[in-house]
Structure 1
Amino acid sequence: MNWITTLSAATMILTSGTAISGAAAAPIDIEIAAESHDMIWNAVAVDHGRVFVAGPRWTGSKGPSLALIDGHGIARPYPSPQWNGWTPGVANGTTFVNVNAIHLDGKGGLWAVDTGSPEFGGDPLPGAAKLVRLDLATDAVDRVIPLGPTAALAGSYIDDIRFNGDHAYLTDAGRPGLIVLDLRDGSTRRVLEGHGSVTARPDRDIFLDGQPLTGPDGKPLHVHSDPLEVSPDGKWLHYGPLEGPWSRIETRFLDDASLSPDELAEKVEPWANLPPVGGTVMDSNGDLYFTDLAANALRKRAADGTVTTLLVSPELHWVDAPFIDTDHVLWLPVPQIDRAAMFNGGTSQIRWPIRLFRLPLGARP
């Protein structure tokens, strides 16, 4: 059992940022919601006060792949120990092999994105790459959608998911492309395969602590299509490589299976020249919150393109996958991904504890 200390009453005052447009930002108090000395979470989702956390196996995280933090600060395997009990030889399709992302569908479901490979950069194991939907009313798995082998290819790292009506969209950070999921029948299509909008550019390195992040091979790490957000009205999908820049495409074109690859590619538009980000979340008014990796910063891009810096602090070193709950609170998991052993010659540089912050955003726009 993985133990987490819940510190919901603890508050830190992090260095306030300044607006790039020139206006000063007010000081911001940010709360430590939870911390762990075992589990490395890169994802969070909150439903009616219940806090779910998850993290990939290759970071060295101990404990469950997907957990619910209970009222006593214990991270309990969710939905069961069996689903969190994968080991080599155990059924790949009915256990979590490597959870990289979790997200709510707005219809009572929590979805887990399983890349299917316990190793970073490894090929998905047979039957392991999948989407798992959990019914939050019953705390039981009610749907499993396999993602291979036509969706999760050799070298794929299925990264994250967003929902829009009868469809969902996923990014592939390993084999550049997007995946369109028809939620009605579970069918998938790969689109924009190898397109420039989903492909990491070699001239945009990921910098942290003033140094470019390198992979296990010692070369600069480049991550293909990774962050994505659907606009509040559902019209646009915004997406890009982790390093940026971002593009956008109308969801009606993504949903149209009759379009040829060339016809679909013509619908892509440039959107925002964002820096390398740890994660993003879009608010109901179109504000995009993103974490600037090089600066240990939390920034907000308004719908008009104005970027404001909200927080800058070493405590925000590689914030991943922020989440906004129904109380308009921003949750910020800090997994320190670049400090994992595989990026540091086999020796972890993680600075414990791993923390989960929460930042009230005020009245919902």
Structure 2
Amino acid sequence: MKTSLLAASALLFSACSSPAVRTPSPSSLVVAAESRDLIWNAVALSEDGRVFVSGPRWTGSRGPALALLDAEGQPHAYPDERWNAWSPGSDARQAFVNINAIHRGPEDSLWVIDTGAPDFGGAPLPDGAKVVRIDLKNGTVSRVYPLGAEIATPQSYVDDIRIHGTRGYLTDAGRPGLIVLDLESGAARRVLDNAPSTTAPMDRPILLEGKPVKAPDGSVLRVHADPLELSPDGKWLYFASLHGPWSRIETRWLEDASLSPEAVASHVEPWADLPPTGGTALDENGDLYFGDLAEDAIKKRTPEGRIETVIADPRLHWVDAPYLTQDGWLWLPVPQMDRVALFNEGKARTTWPIQLLRLRVR
């Protein structure tokens, strides 16, 4: 593994010391880490500033599915080698098959979304689709939430999670819908299956470099329910296909298992007409930071609905799942997803190294 961590980011790691460096002004990008053989599409930080990264198996990466970066930017399998050692034919229950997202949750917990399908568009393996909770204080898996075949269906690609209280809310980018997970009992339910709000529209292609991204079969790529966020008070769930536009629903309607599918759908409201985005982060003030894929830009939607461009830079080519720290740093993995071989007739166009950037936004 050949990765490097630039000195400008060393202050974030309490375990190492470095000379004083100038704090970047707003809207200036800092390279936090680089990789020449792993593609990272997600990042999360612990309370003490440790940096965790992950990436899907189908990008061609062969290193750890989930890694902790040390002060030199070297990735180390997390929580251990065994969880990162899955191979075809081995047990999928206690190993990462294909991580799509990681999310820092309450009580310094890391939530890992394993689609359970090693191939893009493939069916989840038996016992493969799951949500894994890791206690970052002691580095151990504290619970595994299996997502059975009735939840993670053969068409599913379980995408991401947000948490409030005893509920987890997940998106399914393969079979359009949301998943409501009871974090105490482990029971899960599907809602808004094939609803317009969770289904990728036909007339909003994902455009990068002026061209629509193509699926492996040559058709225009469509990614169903993908980004999601919870309002700071947990009252509203905001969600969309990768293409947009966004909708919202009060979480109380998602928690009521007695409601019919039609009744749940009746409570969905239009929220924001945002362009295709690889990922988002919502702060405590209600400001939504998102990557505008077509413009290689990070933008912000204010609670009043105003859209502002924070920064536009060619290095921000398909920013995926960002992470916002309490002190105002927005961490930006840049996996260049549209350039992987899967979407280019088997020939990768990735510009190496893959970068993990950060940006001071407040």
Same fold per TM (> 0.5)?
A: yes
Q: Which string of whole-angstrom CA distances, capped at 9 and with x for unpartnered residues, describes residues 7-66 of structure 1?
A: 14179xxxxxxxxxxxxxx97221100000011010000112100000000011121000
Q: Which string of whole-angstrom CA distances, capped at 9 and with x for unpartnered residues, describes residues 48-100 of structure 1?
A: 21000000000111210000001232100000111000101111011100000
| Alignment partner, residue 29 of structure 1 | 28
2:284 partner amino acid: S
Q: SS of 1:315's equivalent?
A: coil
| Alignment partner, residue 179 of structure 1 | 179
2:259 partner amino acid: L
CA distance in 1, matches of 2:37, 2:4: 11
| Alignment partner, residue 4 of structure 2 | 5
1:259 CA drift (Å):
1.0
Taking only the aligned residue pairs, the percentage that are identical comes to: 57
| Alignment partner, residue 14 of structure 1 | none
| Alignment partner, residue 38 of structure 2 | 39
What are the within-5 Å matches in structure 2 for residues 272-287 of structure 1? 272-287=272-287
Q: Structure 1 unaligned runs (5+)?
A: 12-25
1:109 partner amino acid: S
| Contact 2:27/2:360 (<8 A) preserved | no
1:233 CA drift (Å):
1.1
| Contact 2:26/2:359 (<8 A) preserved | no
| Contact 1:98/1:116 (<8 A) preserved | yes
| Contact 1:236/1:251 (<8 A) preserved | yes
1:243 partner amino acid: H
2:234 is the alignment partner of 1:218: no
Count of matched residue pairs: 347
Structure 1 pair 150–278 and aligned structure 2 pair: CA distance change class (3 A): same
Q: SS of 1:265's equivalent?
A: helix
| Alignment partner, residue 228 of structure 1 | 228
Q: SS of 1:316's equivalent?
A: coil
1:328 CA drift (Å):
2.1
1:359 CA drift (Å):
1.1
| Contact 2:27/2:361 (<8 A) preserved | no
What are the within-5 Å matches in structure 2 for residues 112-261 of structure 1? 112-261=112-261
Q: SS of 2:359's equivalent?
A: strand
For the aligned residues, what is the CA RMSD? 1.3
| Alignment partner, residue 17 of structure 1 | none
| Contact 2:173/2:223 (<8 A) preserved | yes
2:206 partner amino acid: I
| Contact 1:8/1:32 (<8 A) preserved | no
| Contact 2:237/2:250 (<8 A) preserved | yes
1:147 CA drift (Å):
0.7
CA distance in 2, matches of 1:262, 1:44: 36
Q: Which string of whole-angstrom CA distances, capped at 9 and with x for unpartnered residues, describes residues 338-361 of structure 1?
A: 001011110111100000011122
**TM-score w.r.t. length of structure 2:** 0.94
* Divergent runs of 4+, >3 A: none
CA distance in 1, matches of 2:2, 2:142: 28
Q: SS of 2:197's equivalent?
A: helix
Q: Structure 2 unaligned runs (5+)?
A: 11-24
**TM-score w.r.t. length of structure 1:** 0.93
CA distance in 2, matches of 1:268, 1:32: 39
